[in-house]
Structures are given as C-alpha cells and as structure tokens.
C-alpha cells in the first residue's frame, strides 16, 4: 500500500505550489522550481518506502544516492541555469533582441529540504495509517 505515497507526495507538492503562487492559473500547476521541490519529495518518498520495506540494504542505498543526485541537480545546476536565463532575458530586452527562452527553474536548498521532508512525512503517515 505504500505505493500510494508515490502518487500522493508529488500531487501534494504541486498543489502546494499552485496554492502559494502569486497568480493561480492552470499553467502554474506544471511549472518548475518553487516551494516545495516535488523531485526531492518523490525521491525521498521512494527512499523511505525502500527503508520501510527492506531496511538499510542495497536498494535503499540506491534510492538515497538517487535522492542526493536529484537534490544536487535541483539546488545546483537547475538553479544556476534559471538565474542565467533571467540574466540573458534582461540583456536581450536591454538590446531589443527577441528571444524564446524557456524558463527552467531550480530550487533553493530550503525548497529542496521542505520537499524532502514532505516526502518522508507523507510516506511515514501513510505507513502508520494504512
């Protein structure tokens, strides 16, 4: 029954983003970045499920490494790319150059940690209730 956490966790994160964003439209339901990190939530949920099912064995360690990679990507590479895109867009506007920049947003460490916490807490809650 823990597979339910894999569905509920990312949906809950996206719903939180949608509720807390400035302008509530359906486009924001699928935006990247923001609070909380759905990727961190999903991978921490997966690691927690693995720990509950098999303890500290190889599958759990693989899930933890996957979580670390996702966490690092969201707070490092994607965050830096998003900031670079903002700078490029400002430069393009300043010099009157038309661009079609697709904004990919990363996460701050706080956003990724909140997502991680949501993933763990949601999984533990479902485990205890079901």
- pLDDT of the residue at 22: 67
Across 85-105, average pLDDT:
75
Q: pLDDT above 70 covers what percent of the chain?
A: 83
DSSP state of 130: -
User: What is the per-residue pLDDT for 103?
Assistant: 66
pLDDT score recorded for residue 39 = 87
Residue 17 CB: number of other CB atoms within 10 A? 21
Residue 48 has pLDDT above 80, yes or no: yes
User: Highest-confidence range of 90-94, 100-104, 115-119, by mean pLDDT?
Assistant: 115-119
pLDDT tens-digit map of 54-85: 999 999 999 999 999 988 888 877 667 777 77
d(CA 71, CA 112): 6
Mean pLDDT to the nearest integer, 31-56: 88
Domain locations in the chain?
3-129
DSSP letters, 70-115, are HHHIIIIIHHHHHHHHHHHHHHHHHTT----PPP-----HHHHHHH
pLDDT for 10-36, tens place per residue?
889 888 877 776 666 666 556 666 678
Residue 100 confidence (pLDDT) above 80: no
pLDDT of residue 118: 95
């Amino acid at each position: 029954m823990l597979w339910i956490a894999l569905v509920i966790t990312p949906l809950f994160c996206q719903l939180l983003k949608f509720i807390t964003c400035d302008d509530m439209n359906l486009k924001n339901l699928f935006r990247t970045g923001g609070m909380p990190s759905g990727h961190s939530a999903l991978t921490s949920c997966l690691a927690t499920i693995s720990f509950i099912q098999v303890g500290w064995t190889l599958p759990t360690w693989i899930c933890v490494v996957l979580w670390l990679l996702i966490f690092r990507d969201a707070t490092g590479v994607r965050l830096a790319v998003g900031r670079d895109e903002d700078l490029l867009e400002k430069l393009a506007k300043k010099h009157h150059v038309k661009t079609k920049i697709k904004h990919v947003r990363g996460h701050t460490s706080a956003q990724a940690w909140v997502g991680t916490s949501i993933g763990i807490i949601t999984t533990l809650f479902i485990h205890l209730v079901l």
